[in-house]
Amino acid sequence: MVEENTEVYYKANQIAKKLQKGFDFTIDEKHKNAVLTENGVKKIEKILGLKYLYDMENIDLAHSIVESLKAHHVFKKDIDYIVKDGEIIIVDEFTGRLMIGRRYSDGLHQAIEAKEGVQIQSESQTLATITFQNYFRLYKKLAGMTGTAMTEESEFGKIYNLEVVEIPTHRKMIRIDYPDVIYKTKKEKFTAIANEVEQLYKIARPVLVGTISIENSELLSTMLKRRGIQHHVLNAKQHEKEAEIVAKAGQKYAVTIATNMAGRGTDIVLGEGVVDLGGLHIIGSERHESRRIDNQLRGRSGRQGDPGSSRFYVSLEDDLMRLFGSDRIKSIMERLGMEEGTPIEHSLISRALENAQRKVEQYHFSIRKQILEYDDVMNKQREAIYGLRKRILLGENIEGKLYEMMEQIAQELVDSYIPEKSRYDEWNIDSLKNEMAEMSCPNFVVPENAKRNEIKELIINSLKTAYQERKTQIGENAFDELQRFVMLKVIDDAWIEQLHNMDALREGIGLRAWGERDPLIEYKMEAFGMFNEMMSSVRKQIFTLLFKVQIITEKEPAIKKARNITYGAPEKSEAKRQPVITSQKIGRNDPCPCGSGKKYKKCCGK
């Protein structure tokens, strides 16, 4: 399976290289998405010899091609990720640090691996999921302290019902924050930054240059090397000496180029004589999407009443300006007919940039709020599943819980095959018997003239009898371990599948808006139905496995630990033979004993 998936990513990568931007596909940079055009679809169908790209058998390939387009045109090396030791490692856009162990989902990470020519790893399966907001809500008390909370005050209030209180600084802040300087092009901007760094270096004043990406930090480093300016670079690639570099950043002649990771939350101590030079000067090479990140960069200077200054350099080619910038700024630049290398420096520009940042922050907040609203639905399911798992793990009246499940199964079977207010000739007794037979109750009989409630009690009693017989057959201690293992196995497999199904539901539910329906309400209704179906299936699978699996022991009379219970034959490599579960005669519709979660006829019974 992994080899097949790998081949799909390589094929999608080759196709993505042949497609022309703007003609075969379009890129939505705001939403970080790629969309195939009709021309693109036809071109792919021609290359692959397909009749229709979006046939069910081709749907995975179509998805992989879109992910490959995003890998090539949206996600950039040394900005969104780095390649290190043959692996793709994500870079946190807010902290600038490497996110070891984190991977993009939906095949995007594999698409980037194919693009960069490193080994493609198999897609990971989501075992559990929770948003940060719902994770924090698990705590009884919430509080925090940060120097940049005021810009997010409304979100703290709406999401966590927390008030933000601003505490005055111990000493008066005397840092000078100069207005932003804006240039037409990135080239002009970086040249201006290098010029200012050179001027300050000549008078021995320390400078900290903040960049939003590894790529920009290395570009500036190259420019300063050409001018013979000694400096340190601090980014996700050179993070080992972070403490040492930050400790020296306030000394005379110190020039430090850093991404957002630079000394966050630390005081940069000024060297002897630096106060007389004006303190540490901060240069921002670009406005970040979040004002909070810019404030953190500024906050490296002017701490504890020290002198300092800051200035941000911006160009019309910066992502923030291209995607969210005001057309008013561009019109001003064009009206003034600015010559190359001539900047605009005005408080109006700074205010316009902050307005652009507010737009981005509001956009991201609306996304987080929507995700939370959808995750609140998942949270109810999560609480139910984890509550049940905890009860099983702690061994809290498992038999009582199984009896409760028997009653639920009985009610569901009666509702399905013996509808209320229906005539006897409308009852589906044969299907009811088949269901009971699958749960190891082959001798289940429905007496003539029996009522619905009587049949329900018959089902419960049959399941209880089979349960007690099974318990006596295996032995109480071994059976306790067996039922705990079976319950956890079935619940975990079903929950993993539920997470996948809920992701798929959330991805497409927005289309309901075209039918003038509220996607969130539709999502809640669909999710409720899917959860009930999952729990119904879980209950039946638990009893099917519990009644059918057979414990084979050779030397030990009972199972001691749950981890010794396995499906299939014992591994030959084990020196000591372990207790093993094998299956009696398996029905085609029974869960496959290999543990895949699929029906036997669709798995090992093919």
Instruction: Read off φ and ψ for residue 27, nearest 5 degrees.
Output: -115, 130
Compute the CA torsion angle 45, 51, 54, 59 (nearest 10 deg). -80
Domains of the chain: 6-116 (3.90.1440.10), 130-167 (no CATH), 176-345 (3.40.50.300), 377-548 (1.10.3060.10)
- State the number of CA atoms in the 13 A half-sphere of 127 facing the CB: 3
**How far, in Å, CA of 272 to CA of 577, rounded?**
72
Tokens for 170, please give them.
Answer: 């111990």
The pLDDT of residue 273 is 93
Q: What is the pLDDT of residues 279-288, one digit of tens each?
A: 999 999 988 8
- Report CA-CA distances (Å) from 261 to 167, 252, 285, 300: 25, 22, 15, 11
Q: What is the pLDDT of residues 157-208, one digit of tens each?
A: 888 888 999 888 888 889 999 988 888 888 999 999 999 999 999 999 999 9
Cα 224–230–235 angle (5° rounding)?
A: 75
- Residues with Cβ < 8 Å from 573, sequence gap 6 or more? none
What is the pTM (predicted TM-score) of this model? Answer: 0.58
**How far, in Å, CA of 167 to CA of 147, rounded?**
9
- Residues with Cβ < 8 Å from 548, sequence gap 6 or more? 440, 583, 584, 586, 590
In 3-state terms the chain splits into helix, strand, coil percentages (rounded to 5) of 50, 10, 35
The pLDDT of residue 580 is 40
The pLDDT of residue 69 is 95
Instruction: Read off φ and ψ for residue 513, nearest 5 degrees.
Output: -60, -30
Which residue positions in the chain have pLDDT lower than 70?
1-5, 124-125, 236-240, 261-266, 323-342, 344-350, 551-591, 593-602, 604-606
The pLDDT of residue 572 is 41
The pLDDT of residue 480 is 87
Handedness of CA 6, 7, 12, 15 (dihedral sign): positive
DSSP character at residue 139: S
**How far, in Å, CA of 237 to CA of 244, rounded?**
15
β-bridge mates for residue 26, sequence order: 35
The pLDDT of residue 508 is 77
**How far, in Å, CA of 279 to CA of 252, rounded?**
10
